[in-house]
């Protein structure tokens, strides 16, 4: 807090766009303000009407000061529908932690309960100086804070959080990072993550400005602004206000047709839950009153699940849309370029380990030589730290009967945000296949950080559109910022039921783009009867589409027979052919073709002998 007086934080919920270039991602952000008695009497009705959701109010300071506005703000704010909380301004240089905690509890204890914000320890340098680090070692200050926090938690059953600045957050010991963090970062923005949170791994609140204007707060033109790091559901969990909260899980979410799914009720209540009512779209049965039902899904598609629970203290319901995926059957070849307005593509499925997770989305502003692709924008530009989250996009099932030595290929664009900081802000792309409709998975591709990077840079090659970790959100500036990657699918020869998963492993680093996901319908690489005497050289490879092929039979004499050179794309379609004489050099021009992997095949003109074959890579 910038003022050692009354402090109130009021937080509003709104939607904001942070992506440019015609592609907007709307992320839910919970914002707020902090004020003091310096702002005068607050009109809480206007504050609530302006969109404010909750507020912290200063209760006490040291062992002798009770803020005269505290009780009024708690009562009037709560009456206006604002969720209220209390905080204590500490003077560890003067008092014991137990004395300060008990004084705070004597004033604010009745306001520390469910449906209220957790209590806050405001740990700042003394207003008259010097800094806390002049009074304490890191160990002794940490010990003081631990005792205060533990005393309050023991008395209330609710874990407090700590308000602290970057300097002191780096000075204290890491044992404090088990408590929630409210970080002072006043000279920033609501959307930029704080650059320094000291020994903490994540944060709950951030003070990002001292100059906000809030209706209903007229005592000063400049009000402190804050942001909550989380979703509405996470906020509701923080204040523990639900008398009844419906929730459930299942043993699987992606299944083959005809498979049973077991659902487990995870609902909670301050009373006794006595009734469950389920609705299963596409399921058999389609309703149930069991607490933990089992349902069979027979028809491919994505289906919602709804649960209603009744308790002695109320009722609650929850509906998860597109929760169950019954795999559809796709037909090879696969050539997905994401040019349709439909996303995910028909038969594909977004798998979210947590229903509130971020997800793969359709990018409508850029692609590889196009205006659309799929991307994972939540890795950059939003307030909520999603590091550690893994989200998948599943394909339909494909049959590889009669397909041998196939390949999966795709275009990727990515640039890490920062590989030198701690923690490193970089992300990973993983690709898997499953032969049992998603019950188990085998990894076939894993690249992250500098290995995944397609620009040769970690900060400058992309177009910066919004601040993130001191850098901008990556937008591929040209086709040269993309790379074509391919994966052998030889292990899938003859398999009848194969689906693929494209997984973003977030390090909260930068936006990841994918385009042109291809699989051929037949082998383009099986080799029979190769005449080993021939020497076929191709250079440069990779190239921009122009290759030189040198064909020389060495000591082999084949009379006047010529050679047939053909080039195929990933779908097995012939895109180039030429007849070459032995001992000759020829130019292959694929400059008008899309970047990617192609296959060349050299045969005798009569077609009875395969001389050589290999790959051509167009960048």
Cα–Cα distance for residue pair 200/67, rounded to 1 Å: 30
In 3D space, the residue among 187, 167, 156, 141 whose CA is nearest the CA of residue 467 turns out to be 187
Please give the backbone phi and psi of residue 107, each rounded to the nearest 5 degrees, phi first. -95, -45
Count of C-beta atoms within a 10 Å radius of residue 494: 10
Identify whether 104 is preceded by a cis peptide bond (ω within 30 of 0): no
**Active-site residue flag, 589:** no
Following DSSP, what letter does each residue of 42-62 receive, concatenated? Answer: --HHHHHHTTEEEEEEEEEET
Catalytic residue among 61, 67, 122, 503, which?
A: 122
**Active-site residue flag, 124:** yes
Cα–Cα distance for residue pair 455/475, rounded to 1 Å: 11
Cα–Cα distance for residue pair 423/416, rounded to 1 Å: 12
Catalytic residue among 39, 61, 67, 124, which?
A: 124
**Active-site residue flag, 122:** yes
Cα–Cα distance for residue pair 219/213, rounded to 1 Å: 11
Following DSSP, what letter does each residue of 249-261 receive, concatenated? Answer: EES-SEE-TTEEE
Please give the backbone phi and psi of residue 360, each rounded to the nearest 5 degrees, phi first. -65, 145
Identify the three-state secondary structure at position 502: strand
Contact of 85 with 54, CB cutoff 8 Å: yes
Contact of 291 with 272, CB cutoff 8 Å: no
Q: Could you identify the residue written with the tokens 């398999």?
A: 495
Give helix 97-108 / helix 138-156 axis angle, nearest 10°.
30
CA dihedral of 415, 419, 425, 430, whole degrees rounded to 10: 60
Please give the backbone phi and psi of residue 108, each rounded to the nearest 5 degrees, phi first. -105, -5
Element (H, E) at 171: helix 166-171
Cα–Cα distance for residue pair 503/446, rounded to 1 Å: 9
User: Catalytic site residues?
Assistant: 34, 122, 124
């Amino acid at each position: 807090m910038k003022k050692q007086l009354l402090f109130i934080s009021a937080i509003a919920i709104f939607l904001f766009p942070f992506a440019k270039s015609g592609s907007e991602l709307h992320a839910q952000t919970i914002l707020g303000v902090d004020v003091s008695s310096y702002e005068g009497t607050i009109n809480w009705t206007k504050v609530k009407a302006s969109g404010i959701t909750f507020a912290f109010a200063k209760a006490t300071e040291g062992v002798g000061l009770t803020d005269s506005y505290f009780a009024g703000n708690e009562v009037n704010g709560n009456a206006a529908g604002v969720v209220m909380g209390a905080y204590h301004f500490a003077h560890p240089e003067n008092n014991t932690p137990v004395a300060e905690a008990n004084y705070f509890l004597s004033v604010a204890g009745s306001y520390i309960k469910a449906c209220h914000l957790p209590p806050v320890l405001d740990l700042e340098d003394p207003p008259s100086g010097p800094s806390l680090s002049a009074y304490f070692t890191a160990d002794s200050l940490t010990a003081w804070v631990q005792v205060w926090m533990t005393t309050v938690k023991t008395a209330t059953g609710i874990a407090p959080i700590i308000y602290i600045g970057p300097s002191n957050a780096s000075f204290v010991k890491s044992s404090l990072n088990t408590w929630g963090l409210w970080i002072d970062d006043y000279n920033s923005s609501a959307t930029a993550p704080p650059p320094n949170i000291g020994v903490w791994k994540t944060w709950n609140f951030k003070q990002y400005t001292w100059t906000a204007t809030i209706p209903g707060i007229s005592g000063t033109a400049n009000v402190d602004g804050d942001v909550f790091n989380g979703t509405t559901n996470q906020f509701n969990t923080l204040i523990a206000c639900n008398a009844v909260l419906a929730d459930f899980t299942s043993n699987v979410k992606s299944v083959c047709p005809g498979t049973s799914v077991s659902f487990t009720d995870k609902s909670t209540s301050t009373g006794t839950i006595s009734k469950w009512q389920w609705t299963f779209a596409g399921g058999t049965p389609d309703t149930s009153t069991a607490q933990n039902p089992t349902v069979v899904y027979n028809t491919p598609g994505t289906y919602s699940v709804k649960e209603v629970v009744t308790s002695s203290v109320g009722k609650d319901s929850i509906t998860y849309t597109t929760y169950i995926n019954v795999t559809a059957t796709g037909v090879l070849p696969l050539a997905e370029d994401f040019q349709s307005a439909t996303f995910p593509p028909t038969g594909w499925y977004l798998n979210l380990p947590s229903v509130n997770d971020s997800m793969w989305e359709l990018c409508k502003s850029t692609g590889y030589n196009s205006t659309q692709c799929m991307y994972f924008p939540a890795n950059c530009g939003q307030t909520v730290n999603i590091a550690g989250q893994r989200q998948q996009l599943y394909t339909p099932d494909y049959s590889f009967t009669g397909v041998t030595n196939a390949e999966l290929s795709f275009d990727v664009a990515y640039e890490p945000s920062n590989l030198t900081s701690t923690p490193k802000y970089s992300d990973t792309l993983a690709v898997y296949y499953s032969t049992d409709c998603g019950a188990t998975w085998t990894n076939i591709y894993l690249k992250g950080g500098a290995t995944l990077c397609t620009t040769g840079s970690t900060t400058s090659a992309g177009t910066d559109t919004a601040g993130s970790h001191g850098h901008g959100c990556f937008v591929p500036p040209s086709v040269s910022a993309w790379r074509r990657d391919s994966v052998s699918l030889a292990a899938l020869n003859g398999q009848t039921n194969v689906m693929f998963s494209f997984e973003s492993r977030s390090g909260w680093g930068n936006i990841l783009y994918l385009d042109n996901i291809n699989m051929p319908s037949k082998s383009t690489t099986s080799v029979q009867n190769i005449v080993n005497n021939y020497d076929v050289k191709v250079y440069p490879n990779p190239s921009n589409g122009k290759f030189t092929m040198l064909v020389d039979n060495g000591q082999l004499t084949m009379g006047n027979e010529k050679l047939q050179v053909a080039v195929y794309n990933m779908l097995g379609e012939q895109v180039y052919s030429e007849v070459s004489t032995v001992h000759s050099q020829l130019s292959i021009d694929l400059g008008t073709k899309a970047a990617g992997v192609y296959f060349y095949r050299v045969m005798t003109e009569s077609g009875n002998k395969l001389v050589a074959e290999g790959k051509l890579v167009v960048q």
